[in-house]
């Protein structure tokens, strides 16, 4: 994870776009500028970044289903629960499942587990839209290639 | 048996926190009830789930982009419900 660059997913471990399921891995760094403020002397991953992590895992699954022809943008977060603190060095297993494939939108149910313990969970709604430009599309393809390639290594 | 309008009105009321008595068939979801496009995603999700359908929002949006003056034809609730009935009928056919 590069928290300050919003690169939350390190590796896609399992991906089943047809059935709408993804499992990803994310390793919390030991140091990050984020921890300087959150919190001094007690570094913890902010809850909003855990939600972002679940959103990105869901997003890569949706991008795969959409064959990178459209982009899912996070639109709504419901039933989010932060169950325990996440400290530097934690290894996170991020799981997301498609709950509903609508027309122009999708909803997923996602959760994060670390050391066998549930960290957080949420329902996430995405608006599915055309890519606003080729730069973003290219960036998504590159990032997906990186985190999928590390799956094979 | 609950009509399509009754079910949709309940969904809108619960999703957007609008009193049920204010939701009448001649109201436009956006211009009369003040629902925004993000709230409408929640409503579309609940409608899909309730009726076991997939309302073609993308197609409607494309059609509206070509002819914005037709917005009442899609989002006045009586007409929205008629369109939902068409989708249900097509699914059951």
A68 three-class SS = coil
Contacts of A125 in chain B (CB under 8 A): 41-42, 45
The edge-to-edge listing of strands for the beta sheet with A70-82 is: A11-16, A21-27, A91-101, A105-114, A117-130, A70-82
Distance between B24 CA and the closest CA of chain A, angstroms: 25
**β-strand partners of A23:** A14, A95
% residues pLDDT > 90 (chain B):
80
Judged by phi (left if over 0) then psi (alpha if -120 to 50, else beta), residue B70 lies in alpha
Given a contact cutoff of 8 angstroms between Cβ atoms, the answer to whether A57 and A50 are in contact is no
The CA distances from residue A73 to A24, A39, A79, in Å, are: 19, 29, 18
Query: Does A38 participate in catalysis according to the annotation?
Result: yes
Which of A11, A21, A38, A143 is labelled catalytic?
A38
Residues B41-83: tens digit of each pLDDT:
999 999 999 999 999 999 998 898 898 888 888 999 999 999 9
Distance between B19 CA and the closest CA of chain A, angstroms: 22
Domain residue ranges of chain B, discontinuous segments joined by +: 4-92
CATH class of the domain comprising A3-135: alpha beta
Residue A151 touches chain B, beta carbons under 8 Å: no
d(CA A110, CA A91): 16
Residues A63-91: tens digit of each pLDDT:
999 999 999 999 999 999 999 999 999 99
The residue length of chain B stands at: 93
Contacts of A104 in chain B (CB under 8 A): 41, 57-58, 61
Residue A101 touches chain B, beta carbons under 8 Å: yes
Q: For residue A39, say if its preceding peptide bond is cis, omega within 30 degrees of 0.
A: yes
pLDDT given at position B78: 96
Between 1.10.3720.10, 1.10.10.200, 1.10.1200.10, 3.30.70.1050, what CATH number should domain B4-92 receive? 1.10.1200.10
Is ipTM strictly over 0.90? no
Distance between B58 CA and the closest CA of chain A, angstroms: 5
Decide: residue B63, CB within 10 A, 0-12 exposed, 13-18 middle, 19+ buried.
middle
Given a contact cutoff of 8 angstroms between Cβ atoms, the answer to whether A93 and A113 are in contact is yes
The CA distances from residue A77 to A18, A74, A110, A120, A125, in Å, are: 23, 8, 11, 13, 6
Which helix (DSSP H) or strand (DSSP E) does residue A42 occupy? none
* pLDDT above 90 for A151: no
pLDDT given at position A28: 98
Residues A24-47: tens digit of each pLDDT:
999 999 999 999 999 999 999 999
- In chain A, the N- to C-terminal Cα span, in Å, equals 18
């Amino acid at each position: 994870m590069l928290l300050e660059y919003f690169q939350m997913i390190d590796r896609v471990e399992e991906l089943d776009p047809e059935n709408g399921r993804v499992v990803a891995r994310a390793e919390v760094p030991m140091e990050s500028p984020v921890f300087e403020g959150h919190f001094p002397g007690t570094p913890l991953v902010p809850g909003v970044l855990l939600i972002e992590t679940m959103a990105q895992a869901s997003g890569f699954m949706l991008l795969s289903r959409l064959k990178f022809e459209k982009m899912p943008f996070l639109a709504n977060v419901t039933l989010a629960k932060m169950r325990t603190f996440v400290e530097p060095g934690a290894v996170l297993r991020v799981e997301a499942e498609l709950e509903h494939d609508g027309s122009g939108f999708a909803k997923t149910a996602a959760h994060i587990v670390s050391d066998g313990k549930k960290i957080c969970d949420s329902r996430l709604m995405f608006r599915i839209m055309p890519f606003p430009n080729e730069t973003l599309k290219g960036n998504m393809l590159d990032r997906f290639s990186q985190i999928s390639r590390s799956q094979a290594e | 048996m609950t009509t399509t309008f009754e079910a949709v009105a309940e969904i809108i009321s619960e999703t957007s926190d609008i009193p049920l008595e204010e939701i009448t068939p001649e109201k436009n979801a956006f211009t009369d009830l003040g629902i925004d496009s993000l709230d409408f995603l929640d409503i579309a999700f609940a409608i899909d789930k309730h009726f076991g359908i997939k309302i073609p929002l993308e197609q409607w949006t494309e059609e509206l982009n070509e002819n914005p003056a037709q917005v009442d034809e899609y989002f006045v609730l009586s007409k929205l419900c008629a369109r939902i009935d068409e989708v249900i009928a097509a699914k059951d056919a």
